[in-house]
Amino acid sequence: MAIRGQRFHIDLNDDQSLASQSPQPSQSTTRSPWNLVADIQERPTSATSRPPSPPSIKSSQAGFPAHKKRYRPSAFKQRVTEDSNSRRYGTDPESSNIRQGAATPDQGEVQVDSKREIDMENRQRIAEMSVEDIDQARKELMSSLSESFIERMLKKANIEEDQQTNDRSTHIPKEKQPSPKTKKVTFNSKSLVDDVAQVPPSCNESNPNLNDTDIKPPPDLQPVSTFQGWPTPPSFHFPQPPTPPSLDPEDPDFLSKLRSTYFPSLPSNPKALSWMQPPDPTENEAYSPSRNDLPPSAVRFDFKGRLLPPRLAAQIPPSKGLHHHGTAPEAAGYTIPELAHLSRSSFPSQRCIAYQTLGRILYRLGTGVFGPEDHELCQGLWKCIEQGRVLDTLTAEAARDEQSGNRSCWVTATEAVWLWRKGGGRKWKAT
């Protein structure tokens, strides 16, 4: 390794010249203190050297490593003994460790023995004292110490004495431990049953001087199950709602009976339920196939803007969705006044249907599908469109911003205006 600051030259083309020119460190040269990492030196291996082997564990009968016996007490046990001694003699184990330093296991045993000697010496000194000396020393301690401290020390002394007695009882060898004596008590089952049968119910513990000869059963003693004097329990009646009568849906008065049976307190509004009743024959005369003439306001169209004659409107089933509860409910299709009224609905889906159908009617009307412009039917249809303000409604909806209002309504209204423009964009003017 080159010394810092020394300049040297390396020839990368010749490996042998590099080995000859590179400076070789000598053993006599002193190493710089900044060179902390030395070169790696490989030692020759011998034939007798063996590779390292893993440590071998002694096998036992159970298959687990054998337990290692400890001849010295553990650190936890030393700490517990030091804490107990500190509580007994009022010394701080941490301060003693600081003064004495880290003690070895042998020193800990010496400290325990010395504390035992001090304890024995104190007990011997108290045994040599007279009762008067003990009372005088107790009074001096009571006067010099506070009551709370004395009470705390007495509690600790009682706890330590209990622990010592428990430790002594646990350390008694098994040979010397007294075996628990079990007492067996037997009873004569027959005499016990007789005594129980002779005890009257009035006997209690408040009269312990009763003898067995004084106890006699009452003459009217009998089982509770055979007693006939119990009062009969009262019968409870829970009110039940009246059973409603069965209603026939085919009954012509079904709706009125339904309201009077289940909703008698609600106000009656027959007009609100009129659509559920079968239509009156007179209502279907407005678009009856038997009529020879029809006003333009009664002409009906399907959703594609095609005209529906009365005979075809009576044959279309209700599943096509062209029936409604307007004039002539049994006839299929929508008139222009009905579509104009539906275009001002508060439901966007109904407005979309009206816009789409009106745009297709305007396209067919402008292209002459229903006849020339001066025809009586076309003039009547244009008059219905003007009276219902259909074009004003469509242009107002299409001119609205795309983000304001319902997007589907805006799309269908724009399509209807485009169809009207493509059909000619004409307007009927009253003359």
pLDDT by residue (tens digit) across 225-242?
A: 776 777 777 777 788 888
Q: Which residues pair with 301 in a beta bridge?
A: 307, 334
Bridge-partner residues for 334, per DSSP? Answer: 301
In angstroms, the CA 297 to CA 27 distance is 126
362: left (phi over 0), alpha (psi -120 to 50) or beta: alpha
Contact 329, 279 (CB under 8 A): yes
Residue carrying structure tokens 């409910």 = 329
Confidence at residue 315, expressed as pLDDT on a 0 to 100 scale: 84
Shortest CA distance to 388 belongs to which of 325, 423, 324, 336?
Answer: 336
The count of C-alpha atoms lying within 13 angstroms of the C-alpha of 289, restricted to the half-sphere facing its C-beta, is 11
Among 280, 281, 310, smallest CA distance to 293 is for 310
**Do 300 and 333 contact (CB within 8 A), yes or no?**
yes
- Residues lower than pLDDT 50 in the chain: 1, 17-19, 22, 25-29, 98-103, 174-176, 192-193, 196, 199, 202-204, 429-431
Q: What is the pLDDT of residue 341?
A: 92
Please tell me the distance from the alpha carbon of residue 305 to that of residue 416, in angstroms, as a whole number. Answer: 11
Neighbours of 76 (CB within 10 A): 8
* CA distances, 355 to each of 121, 300, 321, 366, 394 (Å): 117, 16, 17, 16, 7
State how far the alpha carbon of 214 is from the alpha carbons of 189, 196, 208, 229, 332, in Å. 22, 14, 12, 29, 108
Q: State how far the Cα of 52 lies from the Cα of 50, in Å rounded to an integer.
A: 6
At 18 the pLDDT is 45
Q: What is the pTM of this model?
A: 0.41
CA dihedral 281, 286, 287, 291 (to 10 degrees): 100
Residue 50, sorted as left (phi over 0), alpha (psi -120 to 50) or beta, turns out to be: beta
3-class secondary structure, 92 = coil
